[in-house]
């Protein structure tokens, strides 16, 4: 080690759910891990997230692009369904209740036309081995009496649900520390140089030398890729969320609408989280994401249309965050060709659902173990790819 340098076997850049999960699985396997986070843990997408666990073909995209899109999405969907499974048992394993519940997801329809395309989507999902069924009006009322009378039916995807996003990444970070990982907040990776068998990472604090590096920088992944000459097609898209005051148990399921962007679910503390990916803006002065009045209004209108009792509740907070997205909706998971030891873990749009699983898969890849999934098609491109 050069004087003044820090050294580790594996350096993780990014303290969101992805980085914290990878740190946990690596440290649990006995690896030497240092995680650096430029701000505080869980303050970007993983803390801003709605915390839904999704296991179906994204509704809006299916409606817009049809069966071919759904089929092309299957490899990603496989990771998401396995991702939901990976949440089960995690609380017990790390000794912290992450409030994981999987009562299923309902996409509510108001018209026969919506029922028809939801039925096509449900059939496709069943073909993929996902338990989705169509419910008529009576079955829907029976299962979810809190939904509006004008709902004429729904698709019901078993196994979908939620977890507490404010708890998950910090809890995994704590568990990683218990297994010996080091975590440094306020440390930003600013440049990376390749050296024989190692990477030297410049930071706003001491430089760090590592044998292997995991880029888990969320929307910062592209910048971190450029530091080693690779272009990762990850961008930050600003979207917003709303939360109501707490109320008695009301919304049992994860609720979507066939009519537009919507997710509704009730947290363990009784508050109701309302989202669905409505766009937010970007403050031109600070570059921070900011909520847009039109988006909030449209989002809440759809929510009250689906669950009328929401109209009696106060929204106590709205917030915006950058979600890490890729144009093709595919994650980037693997070692960069031509850059031995440089790994990327970027799961777009549904990185909360897939976070713990992806962290485990990355730990396996980094340690040279079989991850049990064929991840070859998700590998990042190499330098100048």
Ligand X SMILES: Cc1cc2nc3c(=O)[nH]c(=O)nc-3n(C[C@H](O)[C@H](O)[C@H](O)COP(=O)(O)OP(=O)(O)OC[C@H]3O[C@@H](n4cnc5c(N)ncnc54)[C@H](O)[C@@H]3O)c2cc1C
What backbone torsions phi and psi does residue 84 show, to the nearest 5 degrees?
A: -65, -40
Q: Which is nearer to ligand X, 115 or 162 (CB)?
A: 162
Q: Which is nearer to ligand X, 147 or 262 (CB)?
A: 262
d(CA 328, CA 140): 34
Q: Which is nearer to ligand X, 134 or 227 (CB)?
A: 227
Q: Which tokens belong to 17?
A: 């759910």
Reported as type and span, the H/E element at residue 136 is: strand 132-136
- Least Å distance, CB 162 to ligand X, is 8
- Least Å distance, CB 327 to ligand X, is 15
Q: Which is nearer to ligand X, 70 or 276 (CB)?
A: 276
Residue 254, judged by CB atoms within 10 A of its CB (0-12, 13-18, 19+), counts as: buried
- Least Å distance, CB 80 to ligand X, is 8
b/e for 176-205, b at 16 or more Cβ within 10 A? Answer: bbebebebbeebebeebeeeeeebbbebee
- Least Å distance, CB 137 to ligand X, is 28
Q: Which is nearer to ligand X, 28 or 222 (CB)?
A: 222
Nearest to 319 by CA among 295, 361, 291: 291
b/e for 358-382, b at 16 or more Cβ within 10 A? Answer: bbbbbbbbbeeeebebebeebbbbe
- Least Å distance, CB 11 to ligand X, is 10
Residue ranges binding ligand X (CB under 6 A): 13-19, 36-39, 43-46, 48-52, 54, 188-189, 216-220, 224, 239, 241, 275, 321-324, 347, 350-353, 355
CB atoms within 10 A of CB 302: 20
Task: Give rounded-to-5 percent helix, strand, coil for the chain.
Answer: 35, 30, 40
Residue 131, judged by CB atoms within 10 A of its CB (0-12, 13-18, 19+), counts as: middle
- Least Å distance, CB 320 to ligand X, is 7
- Least Å distance, CB 23 to ligand X, is 11
Instruction: Name the DSSP class of 258.
Output: T
Q: Which is nearer to ligand X, 39 or 340 (CB)?
A: 39
Q: Which is nearer to ligand X, 91 or 242 (CB)?
A: 242
Strand partners, 57: none
Strand partners, 319: 241
> In 3-state terms, what secondary structure has residue 126?
helix
- Least Å distance, CB 175 to ligand X, is 16
Q: Which is nearer to ligand X, 79 or 109 (CB)?
A: 79
């Amino acid at each position: 080690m050069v004087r003044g340098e820090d050294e580790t076997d594996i350096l993780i850049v990014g303290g969101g759910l992805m980085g914290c999960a990878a740190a946990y699985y690596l440290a649990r396997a006995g690896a030497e891990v240092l995680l650096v986070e430029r701000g505080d843990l869980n303050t970007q997408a993983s803390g801003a997230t709605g915390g839904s666990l999704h296991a179906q073909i994204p509704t809006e995209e299916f409606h817009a692009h049809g069966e071919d899109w759904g089929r092309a999405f299957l490899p990603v969907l496989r990771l998401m369904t396995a991702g939901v499974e990976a949440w089960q048992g995690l609380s017990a394993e790390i000794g912290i209740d992450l409030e994981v519940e999987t009562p299923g997801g309902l996409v509510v329809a108001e018209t026969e036309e919506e029922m028809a395309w939801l039925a096509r989507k449900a059939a496709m999902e069943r073909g993929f081995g996902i338990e989705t069924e169509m419910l008529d009006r009576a079955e829907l009322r029976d299962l979810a009496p809190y939904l509006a009378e004008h709902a004429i039916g729904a698709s019901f995807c078993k196994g979908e649900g939620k977890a507490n996003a404010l708890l998950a990444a910090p809890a995994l970070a704590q568990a990683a520390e218990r297994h010996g990982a080091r975590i440094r907040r306020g440390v930003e990776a600013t440049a990376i140089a390749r050296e024989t068998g190692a990477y030297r990472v410049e930071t706003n604090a001491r430089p760090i030398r590592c044998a292997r590096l995991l880029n888990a920088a969320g929307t910062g992944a592209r910048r971190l890729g450029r530091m080693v000459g690779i272009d990762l097609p990850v961008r930050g898209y600003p979207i917003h969320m709303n939360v109501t005051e707490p109320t008695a148990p009301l919304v049992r399921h994860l609720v979507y609408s066939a009519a537009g962007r919507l997710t509704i679910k009730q947290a363990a503390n009784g508050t109701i989280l309302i989202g669905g990916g409505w766009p937010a803006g970007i403050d031109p002065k600070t570059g921070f994401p900011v909520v847009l009045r039109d988006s909030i209004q449209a989002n809440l209108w759809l929510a009250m249309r689906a669950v009328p009792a929401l109209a009696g509740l106060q929204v106590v907070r709205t917030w915006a965050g950058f979600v890490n997205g890729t144009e093709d909706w595919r994650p980037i998971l693997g070692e960069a060709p031509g850059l031995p030891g440089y790994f990327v873990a970027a799961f777009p749009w549904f990185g909360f659902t897939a976070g713990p699983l992806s962290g485990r898969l990355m730990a396996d890849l980094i340690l040279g173990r079989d991850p049990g999934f064929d991840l070859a098609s998700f590998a990042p491109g190499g330098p100048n790819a």
